Amino acid sequence: MSVWDHTNRRKAPPTMAEPSHPQTLTPFPLAVDPKRVRHPEAEVSEYLYSGFLEHLGKCIYGGIVDDPKNPSPADVLEAQENGKLGYRKDVKKLISRDGELEVPLLRWPGGEHWT
């Protein structure tokens, strides 16, 4: 329903019910199952600390993979099969798990990407 009527005057907003929150909170006992509690020194998965990439500037094309409009020299590219664009070896070495940035998992596209 539009907030504008046929004379282009603003309609009154719908009335909202008053919140029904309690004035005070009542203590509630919390039961914890010791079988489900993890030890504080338990190993954390390395994939929790991962990275993601977005299409910003030349981050993807010309950064991680070859830019089809401005191809890189063949000696810096890791060839892919089926005609896919090659990965840049220097960037892959930098962001790999044993590289300078130590990224265990890299997602691309990284954010909210819906097709």
Specify the pLDDT at position 97: 82
What lies within 8 Å, CB to CB, of 85 at 6+ separation is 61, 65, 66, 68
Please provide residue 92's backbone torsions phi and psi, each rounded to the nearest 5 degrees.
-60, -40
With a cut of 50, which residues of the chain have pLDDT below it? 1, 5, 115
Cα distances from 47 to residues 30, 44, 60, 99, in angstroms, run 31, 9, 21, 16
| Model pLDDT for residues 24-44, shown as the tens digit of each residue | 888 888 887 877 766 777 777
Specify the pLDDT at position 11: 60
pTM given for the model: 0.49
Nearest to 65 by CA among 33, 84, 43, 88: 88
- For the chain, the straight-line distance linking the first and the last C-alpha, in angstroms and rounded, comes to 29
